[in-house]
Amino acid sequence: MSREPRVSRPRFRDYGIHEDSEGMLAWAWAAERLEASRNYWISTSAADGRPHAMPVWGVWLDGALAFGTNPASRKGRNLARDSRVAVHLESGDEVVILEGDVEPAEPDERIAGAYEAKYDFRPELGPGWYTFRPRRAYAWLERDYPKTATRFDW
């Protein structure tokens, strides 16, 4: 079940963001881009704090991103140690950035079917799957950043 976030303005200083709510983006706008995205950039951190960003394929279902990675990969080892991640899409013109946590997941046929429909590739079901649920998100249109900059909190 998808959760609806609280909507507000980001608290970035000195960027000219409007204070009123006119022009803020709806969560449905961000969710559409999350559903349609081919690649999702996952940012984790190593034990010594070094950042690590890698693209993954995934599916946005029920307010969460389901994706897989090899548990022995650097990203997989980082996720096992620290579940906090940032996820963002590829566009710098229609921006969606998420912050939250991942948890190991048991993918089901619904996830596998959505993944196959999206990528024309049916993934193996088993270890190495994760579910990401955002705690906070940011979205904006670069062409009208001060008016559209929006923050979502769950």
pLDDT tens-digit series, residues 26-78: 999 999 999 999 999 999 999 999 999 999 999 999 999 999 999 999 999 99
Domains and CATH numbers, the chain: 6-153 (2.30.110.10)
- Percent of the chain past pLDDT 90, that is, above it, reads 86
- Percent of the chain past pLDDT 70, that is, above it, reads 99
pLDDT tier at 82, thresholds 50, 70, 90? very high
- Residues 109-136 as b/e (b if ≥16 CB within 10 A, e otherwise) read eebbebbeebeeeebeeeebbbbbebeb
And the tokens for 88? Answer: 């963002």
Q: Which of 7, 11, 18 is nearest to 145 (CA)?
A: 18
**Mean pLDDT score of the chain, rounded to an integer?**
94
Q: pTM, whole model, 2 decimals?
A: 0.93
DSSP string, 71-124: TTSHHHHHHHH--EEEEE-S-SSEEEEEEEEEEE----HHHHHHHHHHHS-PPP
